[in-house]
């Protein structure tokens, strides 16, 4: 089998499965834009009195990381696949769920990642969701980014301590009919016009921009929102025990801060009053919806953490206001699809 001359988007495929299950078409990531992987080896240097040279360079548990970005397009979200849909009902449950991530590298002379077994398979075992983020902008496509962390990665015929041997899996049959040149979004790729502003619940200060505009000019129209982003970092720390090298589990470092940012085209300044004589903030419910069925629910206790007014300079740019909010432990993500079977 001749080696590839390169690896590019058409000869790669990623499958996310429940930990311990062999890869199947149910876990194929659709609309994937990028995949990145890294391995970090922990070394601790030990020296001794009386000798300049190192006494021992001790290796501790290695950490691996996989970062994926996909379009929001009506197919299963990455977070849904990684958590087996627990992200719809429980942040705690989703943070504990483990998954296996398979990267298949196919012949770079084929048009699609299918039709034969991959030339290389990377098997990332027992991965935990470390961070998630969602981005909507007037420029470009809506995207989801997920980072997963773990301690076990195997290539090709290497077998791990838990989980199937990826070399024995029939990728050709699993991907038949998935990447055959006819794959397409389930709902269309979400763009700026597919963000359901009227169906979303936005903070009062963000809505105040259009409220003020309507009051002063009588105009109707949108809130001139330029971008919305939502993100959360789970941490995921190892727990070790005596008599064992590998961690026996990982845990999310609660409380988990969930941040959201709204960039708005400024029409009336930022309209935020700040008083040093008392409190300034109140709780805000936030829910973001799009036409692909994605629903990001951030609870009711989001508070404004910062506001910035910029732009409108002599270079010709427009002034914008960015409102940043945060809550703790409130994030549910629903893609409005049937239950996963990966």
Domains, the chain, ranges and CATH? 9-175 (2.30.110), 192-334 (2.30.110)
**What single-letter DSSP state applies at residue 242?**
T
pLDDT confidence bin for 82, thresholds 50/70/90? very high
Q: How far, in Å, CA of 335 to CA of 144, rounded?
A: 12
pLDDT of residue 162: 46
CB 31 within 8 A of CB 179: no
Q: How far, in Å, CA of 187 to CA of 27, rounded?
A: 19
pLDDT in tens, 198-222: 999 999 888 876 655 444 444 444 5
> What is the arithmetic mean of pLDDT over 80-96?
96
pLDDT of residue 1: 61
160 pLDDT higher than 50: no
CB 337 within 8 A of CB 72: no
pLDDT confidence bin for 337, thresholds 50/70/90? confident
Tell me what percent of the residues of the chain surpass a pLDDT of 90. 70
- Which residues, in sequence order, are CB contacts of 268 under 8 Å at separation 6+? 209, 212, 213, 216
pLDDT confidence bin for 141, thresholds 50/70/90? very high
Q: How far, in Å, CA of 137 to CA of 128, rounded?
A: 28
Q: How far, in Å, CA of 335 to CA of 342, rounded?
A: 15
DSSP, collapsed to helix, strand or coil, labels residue 222 as coil
The mean of the pLDDT values for the chain is 89
pLDDT of residue 68: 98
Say if residue 255 is preceded by a cis peptide, omega within 30 of 0: yes
pLDDT of residue 217: 45
pLDDT in tens, 174-187: 666 688 889 999 99
Q: How far, in Å, CA of 123 to CA of 134, rounded?
A: 26
Range with the poorest average pLDDT among 72-76, 161-165, 185-189, 264-268 = 161-165
69 pLDDT higher than 50: yes
Q: How many CB atoms lie within 10 A of CB 330?
A: 17
DSSP, collapsed to helix, strand or coil, labels residue 318 as coil
- Which residues, in sequence order, are CB contacts of 56 under 8 Å at separation 6+? 46
- CB neighbour burial string for 269-302, b if at least 16 within 10 angstroms, e if fewer: ebbeeeeeeeeeeeebbbbbbbbbbbbbbbbebb
pLDDT in tens, 15-36: 999 998 888 888 999 999 999 9
DSSP, collapsed to helix, strand or coil, labels residue 87 as helix
pLDDT of residue 207: 81
pLDDT in tens, 238-290: 999 999 999 999 999 999 999 999 999 988 888 899 999 999 999 999 999 99
332 pLDDT higher than 70: yes
342 pLDDT higher than 70: yes
pLDDT of residue 161: 43
**What single-letter DSSP state applies at residue 13?**
E
> What is the arithmetic mean of pLDDT over 312-322?
91
Tell me what percent of the residues of the chain surpass a pLDDT of 70. 89
pLDDT of residue 156: 77
52 pLDDT higher than 50: yes
CA 88, 92, 96: angle at the middle one, nearest 5? 100
pLDDT in tens, 94-122: 999 999 999 989 889 989 987 677 888 88
pLDDT in tens, 35-45: 999 999 999 99
pLDDT of residue 219: 45
Q: How far, in Å, CA of 50 to CA of 41, rounded?
A: 28
């Amino acid at each position: 089998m001749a080696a590839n001359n390169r690896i590019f988007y058409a000869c790669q495929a990623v499958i996310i499965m429940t930990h311990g299950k062999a890869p199947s078409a149910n876990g194929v990531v659709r609309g994937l834009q990028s995949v990145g992987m890294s391995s970090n080896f922990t070394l601790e240097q030990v020296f001794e009195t009386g000798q300049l040279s190192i006494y021992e360079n001790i290796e501790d548990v290695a950490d691996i990381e996989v970062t994926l970005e996909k379009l929001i397009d009506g197919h299963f979200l990455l977070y849904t696949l990684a958590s087996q849909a627990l992200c719809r009902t429980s942040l705690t449950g989703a943070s504990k769920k483990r998954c296996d991530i398979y990267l298949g590298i196919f012949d770079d002379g084929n048009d699609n990642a299918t039709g034969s077994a991959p030339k290389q398979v990377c098997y990332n075992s027992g991965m935990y969701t470390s961070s998630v983020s969602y981005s909507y902008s007037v420029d470009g496509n809506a995207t989801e980014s997920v980072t997963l962390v773990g301690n076990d990665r195997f290539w090709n015929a290497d077998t791990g301590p838990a989980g199937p041997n990826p070399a024995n899996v029939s990728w050709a049959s699993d991907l038949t009919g998935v990447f055959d040149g006819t794959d397409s979004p389930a709902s269309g790729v979400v763009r700026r016009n597919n963000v359901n502003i009227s169906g979303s619940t936005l903070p009062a200060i963000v809505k105040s921009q259009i409220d003020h505009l309507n009051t002063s000019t009588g105009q109707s129209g949108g809130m001139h929102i330029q971008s919305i982003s939502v993100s959360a970092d789970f941490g995921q720390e190892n727990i070790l025990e005596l008599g064992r090298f590998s961690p026996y589990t990982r845990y999310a470092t609660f409380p988990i801060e969930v941040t959201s940012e709204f960039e708005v085209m400024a029409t009336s300044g930022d309209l935020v009053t700040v008083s040093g004589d008392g409190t300034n903030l109140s709780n805000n419910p936030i829910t973001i919806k799009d036409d692909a069925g994605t629903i990001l629910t951030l609870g009711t206790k989001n508070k404004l953490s910062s506001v910035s007014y910029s732009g409108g300079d002599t270079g010709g740019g427009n002034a914008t206001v960015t409102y940043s909010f945060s809550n703790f432990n409130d994030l549910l993500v629903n893609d409005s699809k049937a239950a996963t079977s990966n």
